[in-house]
């Protein structure tokens, strides 16, 4: 088993598909080392303050395991009972389920019961980083915001000022409206006294006729967080709250 463990660790476990816990052979030791190798990669990402896609994937895995466990338990509950033993002298009737956990389901339960708290621990680690970064982000409008704000620009300041064009997308799921934001990188400006946020906004209006009066927001933090993996995803969530 040690050979198997080291073989898995040598692999770059950067992702797990949602069916990882029951596909192929549901061997507990193998699945445990598979999960731990993946979580080792996630922990390494978090140590570099890289939250996405690792944090979102962890939440998806956790929900998937919980849903599988819930569905299995509900299925077990709705199956009828059958008479297992009849004692006419004691007037006792013993019942048992028509179905019971076979060896496969026992293996899956063992894997799930081990995985849920371990994944939850890493989710909590990611959320702690998320909350810290979110408090560090300053999101402010540049100039007067127009009435239409579902499209515009994000000016993200670090070593330079990166310009992203954002667009709010609306979609409906189970009669509930959701908002998501797509952000596309456009260009970057050197950070100096000439390239103020107002001047960059004017320059974008002059050179890109698509948005003649764009809603524009400035984004700044004290520390240089990974933009694509952390800063931009959290900023998009903050912008959704702001626009709502």
Convert the pLDDT of each residue in 156-209 to its tens digit. Answer: 999 899 999 999 988 766 656 678 899 999 999 998 999 999 999 999 999 998
Q: What is the pLDDT of residue 51?
A: 97
How would residue 12 be classed by pLDDT, with cut points 50, 70 and 90?
Answer: low
Q: Please give the pLDDT value at position 93.
A: 43
In Å, how far from its chain's centre is CA 26?
A: 25
CB 99 within 8 A of CB 17: no
Structural domains of the chain sorted by starting position, each given as residue range(s) with its CATH number in brackets:
2-133 (no CATH), 137-243 (3.40.1530)
User: Which range (3-12, 42-51, 65-74, 168-177) has the least confidence?
Assistant: 3-12
Band of residue 135 on the pLDDT scale cut at 50, 70, 90: very high
Please tell me the total number of residues recorded for the chain in this structure. Answer: 244
pLDDT at 101: 56
Beta strands per DSSP E along 70-203: 81-87, 92-97, 138-141, 151-157, 160-173, 176-190
pLDDT value of position 28: 87
Please give the average per-residue pLDDT across 219-244, as a whole number.
Answer: 94
DSSP 8-state code for residue 21: T
C-alpha span between 16 and 154 (Å, rounded): 32
CA–CA gap between residue 234 and residue 228 (Å, rounded): 10
Question: Which are the contacts of 122, defined by CB distance < 8 A and separation ≥ 6?
Answer: 39, 42, 43, 46, 58
pLDDT of residue 124: 97
User: What tokens appear for 49 in the block?
Assistant: 């303050």
3-state secondary structure of 216: strand
pLDDT at position 17 over 80: yes
Interval 6-15 mean pLDDT: 58
Indicate if the pLDDT at residue 8 is higher than 90. Answer: no
pLDDT in tens, 119-131: 999 999 999 999 9
Per-residue pLDDT at 209:
86
Given a cut of 70, whether residue 97 has pLDDT beyond it is no
pTM value is 0.80
Provide mean pLDDT across the span 69-96: 55
Return d(Cα 124, Cα 117) in angstroms, integer.
10
On the question of pLDDT at 73 being above 80, the answer is no
Q: Cα–Cα distance between 154 and 183 in angstroms, integer? A: 8
User: What pLDDT was estimated at residue 86?
Assistant: 44
- The Cα–Cα gap between 149 and 4 comes to 54
């Amino acid at each position: 088993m040690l050979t198997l463990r080291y073989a898995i660790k040598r692999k770059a476990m950067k992702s797990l598909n949602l069916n990882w816990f029951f596909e192929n052979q549901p061997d507990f030791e193998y699945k445990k080392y598979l999960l731990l190798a993946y979580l080792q990669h996630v922990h390494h990402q978090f140590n570099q303050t890289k939250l996405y896609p690792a944090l979102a994937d962890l939440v998806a895995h956790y929900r998937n395991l919980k849903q599988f466990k819930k569905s299995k338990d509900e299925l077990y509950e709705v199956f009828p009972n059958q008479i297992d033993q009849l004692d006419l002298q004691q007037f006792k009737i013993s019942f048992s389920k028509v179905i019971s956990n076979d060896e496969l389901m026992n293996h899956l339960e063992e894997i799930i019961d081990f995985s849920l708290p371990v994944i939850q621990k890493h989710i909590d680690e990611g959320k702690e980083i998320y909350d810290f970064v979110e408090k560090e982000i300053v999101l402010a409008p540049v100039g007067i915001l127009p009435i239409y704000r579902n499209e515009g620009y994000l000016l993200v300041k670090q070593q330079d000022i990166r310009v992203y064009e954002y667009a709010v997308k609306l979609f409906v799921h189970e009669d509930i409206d959701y908002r998501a934001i797509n952000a596309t990188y456009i260009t970057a400006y050197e950070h100096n006294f000439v390239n103020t946020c107002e001047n960059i906004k004017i320059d974008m209006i002059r050179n890109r006729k698509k948005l003649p009066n764009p809603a524009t927001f400035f984004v700044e933090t004290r520390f240089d967080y990974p933009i694509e993996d952390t800063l931009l995803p959290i900023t998009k969530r903050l912008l959704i709250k702001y626009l709502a």
